[in-house]
Structure 1
Amino acid sequence: MSDFSEEEWESVCMRCGKCCLEKGTHDGEILFFNRVCDGLDLRTGLCTRYKKRLCENCAKVDLTLLQTEPSLLPESCAYRLLLAGKDLPAWHPLVSGDRESVFKTGKSVLNVFGLHSDGAVKVELQMLSVKSRAEGWDLKRIKDEAEKLFKKYPLRVVEKYPAVGNIKLL
């Protein structure tokens, strides 16, 4: 993998979006939550800020990351599989020959974790912010309305793995 060209390296990514899930650690495990970085394009599984890494806690997926903090990527990640000497799954685009196979087989955050609702959370929070300013809400009302919104879209763990490497989260 160390001698991959940039094009070869990028072709390994299956665009599942799981590396963009919010993460935390607990009792030696890394937890992947049902919220995705707002830089992820939910239609394509591609990061809209990939080159600049503008999102908080965004990590560059490279060989160094794989060797030092592999748990930041899910165990199903093609980069982790190749580094461990394992075969890519049949639904990986390089194996199937179909760029959409990760979506068609339900292996993407787009259809496994229902993250479209998180987009709704962001839109509703923005609307709440605008409305609260326009109507001059007090802090208590803002907190009450935000609490209702987060009950509507609760945070939950969708995957967890043993933490490996120097994990620096939460």
Structure 2
Amino acid sequence: MVDKYWETKPLENMSDREWEDLCDGCAKCCLHKFIEDEDVVEAVSTDHLKKGENIHYTNIACGLLNTKTCACSKYMERTKLVPDCVKLTKDNLKDIFFMPPSCSYRRLYEGRGLPSWHPLLNKGKKSAMHKNGMSVRGKTVYEQDVDLEQFEDYIALWPVQDLD
């Protein structure tokens, strides 16, 4: 029997291990994203969406991502090696607007529960997630292989899908 701690324990009360285990490992957070705003001429970093702005996901993956396992190859060093990489924490979860709707942290924060394909509900295995197309496996190109100035050519709709 699986301890479904996420159903009874608030996110802010979870241990570090419980928090880390909530990650479904889809790697959608490792995709380049951009905000569409007709008034902005050059890209700028932001921590929120303004009225009229839309977030777009691309199929361009961070160079540290192992696209077969959907795991960061330098997880413990990622925020040092990739300054734009955001470490999701209990404190900043409410401000992480760019997480896809299928993200387990976002789902729990919004009161929607874990999806049926989540590894915690599948004996710790990612196979159901991959089979249901909820990970980035087989769908990406590496950032070093594309011209990032042409990111519009790499817009992807699949990252925002949510099955249940």
Query: Which residue number corresponds to residue 89 of structure 1?
Result: 115
1:78 maps onto 2:76 in alignment: no
Q: Give the RMSD, CA atoms, in angstroms.
A: 2.6
For residues 158 and 65 of structure 1, the distance between their equivalents in structure 2, rounded to whole angstroms, comes to 26
Query: Which residue number corresponds to residue 25 of structure 1?
Result: 35
- Consecutive unaligned residues of structure 2, counting only runs of 5 or more, are 1-10, 38-52
Counterpart amino acid of 1:157? I
- Consecutive unaligned residues of structure 1, counting only runs of 5 or more, are 126-145, 162-170
Deviations 1:121-168 (A, max 9, x none): 74xx6xxxxxxxxxxxxxxxxxxxx98xx99x983211387xxxxxxx
1:12 aligned residue (6, 10, 22): 22
Counterpart amino acid of 2:111? G
1:30-49 correspondence to structure 2 within 5 Å? 30-49=55-74
Equivalent pairs, count: 130
Percent identity (aligned): 31
For residues 60 and 74 of structure 1, the distance between their equivalents in structure 2, rounded to whole angstroms, comes to 15
- How far has the Cα of 1:59 moved from its partner? 0.3
Query: Which residue number corresponds to residue 62 of structure 1?
Result: 89
Computing the radius of gyration over CA atoms, which structure comes out larger, 1 or 2? 1
Indicate if the aligned counterparts of 1:17 and 1:46 stay in contact, CA closer than 8 A: yes
- How far has the Cα of 1:55 moved from its partner? 1.2
For residues 107 and 67 of structure 2, the distance between their equivalents in structure 1, rounded to whole angstroms, comes to 24
The TM-score, its normalising length taken from structure 2, stands at 0.69
The structure in which a higher percent of residues are helix is 1
Indicate if the aligned counterparts of 1:14 and 1:92 stay in contact, CA closer than 8 A: yes
Query: Which residue number corresponds to residue 110 of structure 1?
Result: 137
Counterpart amino acid of 2:82? C
